[in-house]
Every structure is written in structure tokens, then in C-alpha cells.
Amino acid sequence: RAKDMGRDTFCYYEAEMDEEVQARAELVTDLRKAIDKGELFVHYQPQFCLENDKVSGMEGLMRWRKQDGTVIPPYKFIPEMERSGLIVAAGEWILRECCCQMMRWMEDGWDGVPVSVNVSMHQIFAGDFPETVSQILEETGLPAGMLKLELTESVIMVDVQEAIAIFSQLKQIGVELAIDDFGTGYSSLSYMQQLDVDVLKIDQSFIKHVTERRGDAVIAETIITLAHNFGMKVIAEGVETADHVNILKTLGCDQVQGYYYSKPLEADELIAFVRARADA
């Protein structure tokens, strides 16, 4: 009996695996179509300078609107894009879209702010990433200084020497570089000084309880000091309350991004938001 049950359990497990494999294969097919059919779009989340309270930048975040109208958040499809390699095409798409959009706003009379785009490690190591970036800037006419690329510590650690080389090529183009989710990975300080990075983004997990957990406040403060000593700026992510803002001001943080100021917005909403604040 025990043996039978064991076999049943095994069969059940196997059937579940099959289902999962099939569901993932379908997702990849849908995602490939989504890219071709233009179902991907961008939400823009503004970033703010703590010193003067002005919009200082924005981050472009990928969204997928299915044909039935439902909007799918990144955590439900980016991992599959990463596994299947579709992230290279989708990443190039959002890079071009964000550059195009900022250029349109600037042509409409706004001075603009740097737009941040998340870059996956598959894109970075795809071989011709710096060329792709300069090509997109040339195509869209966006000045290089208006584009910021967000990379994670894990990207760097995949191949440190290669990362240093690619970062330096990107810096030569003139784009800004930010390290996303800083503090959650394994960056080594010796690499930090070799990588010509402009901005560290403090991960939102340290901000969430920063007012009540002494340790999180110490981490935030340490990242801010580290960044400033290396000549980098700091952006805190996941800023949700006035208390968060106050403590980050006290700690000397430069910029903030989070629901307290604004959730990620559609392009039209973003420019309306900026104009309403008379920042544009």
C-alpha cells in the first residue's frame, strides 16, 4: 500500500510538473506575441529631490496589457522573459520607448528629467549592449545625459571584469548608471570604486521599517555615507510615508521614489502630474 501511495504521489507530482511546464510554454508564446502586437507599455514613476522637492527623474517600468484589457505586473512575466531570453528584445523595446517618450516631452517644451530604465543581465552580456544604447540615443535624438540605466549587483557579480568594461563603455557614451536594489546583493567595495556608477538605489526592504528598526536606519545611513564618499548620489525606493521622508532627509539622502509621492503613472498622467506641480 505504501508503495502504491508512493507511486500515486509520484504520478500526481509528475502531472503537476507537466502542467507547470505547459503553462510556462504558453506564457512564453503569449509574451512573444505581446512584444510583436504592441501589448507592452510603460508606467513612469517620478523621483524627487529631497532638497527642493522637485521632480528630479523618473523610472520606466514595464507593463503588459493583455487583449482582454487586464494589466499584468512585471513579477508575473519578467522572470519568464529572463528564462526564455525574450527580455533582450523586450528590454530593447522599453529602452527605445522611454527615450522616445522623454524626447517627445522635451520637444513639447519640457526641459525633461533623466529617465531610468531597468536593464537585465541578459541584455548587458548580450554582446553589443553599449552599441544598442548609442544607436537608440541616435535614433531618438535623446541626449545621453537624459538616460539612466539601472543594473543590479547580481549583474556585476556574474562577471566582474566584463561588467567593469561594459560600464566604462556606457559611461563613455554619456549615460548615467545606477545600481538598483542596493544592499540586497553581494557587491564588494573594491569593485564599487572600479565601477563608474552615479547612483545607488537603496532597496525598498530597508525603507519599509526604517522608522522602527534601528538596524534598517543604520543600513540606510551606511549606504548614504558610502555613496557620498565615492561621489555617488542616493535614491531611496519604496518611500511610503511622511516619516520615511523625514528620516531620509535627516540621513542626508538625495532623492526619493515611492507611493508617498506617486505610484507609477501612464505617460499622460505623468506629464499632467509634473505640469500640475509646475515642475514642467
Q: Identify which of residues 192 and 244 has a Cβ nearer to ligand C2E in the complex.
A: 244
Is there binding between residue 118 and Mg ion (CB under 5 A)?
yes
**Which residue number is nearest to ligand C2E in terms of Cβ?**
258
User: Which of 138, 122, 130 lies closest to 177, judged by CA?
Assistant: 130
Q: In angstroms, what is the minimal distance from the CB of 129 to ligand C2E?
A: 12
First-to-final CA distance of the chain? 74
Q: Which residue, 62 or 271, has its beta carbon nearer to Mg ion?
A: 62
Nearest approach, Cβ of residue 33 and Mg ion (Å): 26
User: Measuring CA to CA, which residue among 110, 267, 250, 114 is closest to residue 178?
Assistant: 114
Q: Which CB atom, from 97 or from 181, has the smaller least distance to Mg ion?
A: 181
Is residue 183 within the footprint of ligand C2E (CB under 6 A)? no
Instruction: Check if the beta carbon of residue 142 is closer than 8 Å to that of residue 102.
Output: yes
CB of 75 to ligand C2E, least distance (A): 6
- From the list 120, 140, 187, 255, which residue makes contact with ligand C2E (rule: CB under 6 A)? 120
How many CA atoms are closer than 13 Å to the CA of 177, on its beta-carbon side? 25
Alpha-carbon span 1 to 267, nearest angstrom: 62
135-164 residues near ligand C2E, rule: CB under 6 A: 150
Helix (H, G, I), strand (E, B) or coil at 198: coil
- In the chain, the amino acid numbered 161 is Q
Which spans of this chain sit near Mg ion (rule: CB under 5 A)? Answer: 118, 150, 180-181, 237
